[in-house]
Amino acid sequence: MTDIPQPRKSPRQLRSQHTVDTILQATARVLATHGYAGTNTNLIAETAGVSVGSLYQYFPNKNALIAALHQRHDNQMLDVIDGVLNSNPAATLTERVAAIVQAMLHAHLLEPALHRVLEREFPLFDTPREHSLADQDIHRRMRHLLELHRAEIAQQDRDLATYVVLRIMESLVHAAALEPPAGFSTERLEQAVVDAVMGYLATPGGAVPRKRASAPKAGKPATRRKTAG
């Protein structure tokens, strides 16, 4: 539980790097096909065509394998955001958010079973979501994106907004990709994620009087101004 999930040794040789990759692939496959409960290091090693001993040469323990997979996933997400940031400089925020959501969804749809497991099994869950480096990078990139489009955003606190947007994206993309509710196409769900993100950003925020407010007049929806000229 309190293990350091770092690769035991950084593979300097090519062969080692290849072995590490193979093991990780095997871990993903076993996790996806057998679920967490059915996953064990011996099976992973066997699937990878490697001996258990070798596995432990590169990963100090089972948790490290899962942590590495999380790492990998975080990096993929990071790449997704980076890709969007670095292309089409003229795009609107909505377009960019849509592009990110679409790419995320796509990534999750490649191995839904694996992601279903990864979503639940976070080996170091004692430590309060000790953000991985990639995780911090993701935050930074997203914050940068919001900064770029600050004119299109009603939310004032961009740091908080970054956090909220990432949470919304994560949960809704997971929902859409991994446990899609019956009756809705992936396209509509995808659109819903974008709606949720953009809707939040378009909201000034903090407008609701907390507790004990004299009951507002009527059913008028939250008033909203266009966020940009």
Shortest distance in whole angstroms from residue 163 CB to a second copy: 5
Instruction: Using the minimum distance from each CB to a second copy, give the nearer residue, 1 or 14.
Output: 1
Residue 89 binding target from DNA, a second copy, none, CB below 5 to 8 Å by type: none
Instruction: Using the minimum distance from each CB to a second copy, give the nearer residue, 21 or 187.
Output: 187
Residue 14 binding target from a second copy, DNA, none, CB below 5 to 8 Å by type: none
Shortest distance in whole angstroms from residue 78 CB to a second copy: 19
Shortest distance in whole angstroms from residue 115 CB to a second copy: 12
Residue 33 binding target from DNA, a second copy, none, CB below 5 to 8 Å by type: none
Q: List Cα–Cα distances, 87 to 105, 129, 189, 212, in angstroms.
A: 19, 31, 24, 48
Instruction: Using the minimum distance from each CB to a second copy, give the nearer residue, 21 or 49.
Output: 49
What residues contact 144, with CB distance under 8 A and at least 6 apart? 85
What residues contact 79, with CB distance under 8 A and at least 6 apart? none
> 33 burial class (0-12, 13-18, 19+ CB within 10 angstroms)?
middle
Residue 118 binding target from DNA, a second copy, none, CB below 5 to 8 Å by type: none
Instruction: Using the minimum distance from each CB to a second copy, give the nearer residue, 14 or 217.
Output: 217
Residue 51 binding target from DNA, a second copy, none, CB below 5 to 8 Å by type: DNA
Shortest distance in whole angstroms from residue 165 CB to DNA: 36
Residue 56 binding target from a second copy, DNA, none, CB below 5 to 8 Å by type: DNA
Instruction: Using the minimum distance from each CB to a second copy, give the nearer residue, 41 or 94.
Output: 94
196-201: long-range contacts at Cβ-Cβ below 8 A with a sequence spacing of 24 or more? 196/168, 196/172, 197/97, 197/101, 197/165, 197/168, 197/169, 198/93, 198/94, 198/97, 200/155, 200/161, 200/164, 200/165, 200/168, 201/93, 201/146, 201/152, 201/153, 201/154, 201/155, 201/161, 201/165, 201/227
Which positions lie near DNA, rule CB under 7 A? 3, 9, 11-13, 15-16, 18-19, 37-42, 50-54, 56-57, 60-62
- Cα–Cα nearest to 140, from 101, 106, 175, 166: 166
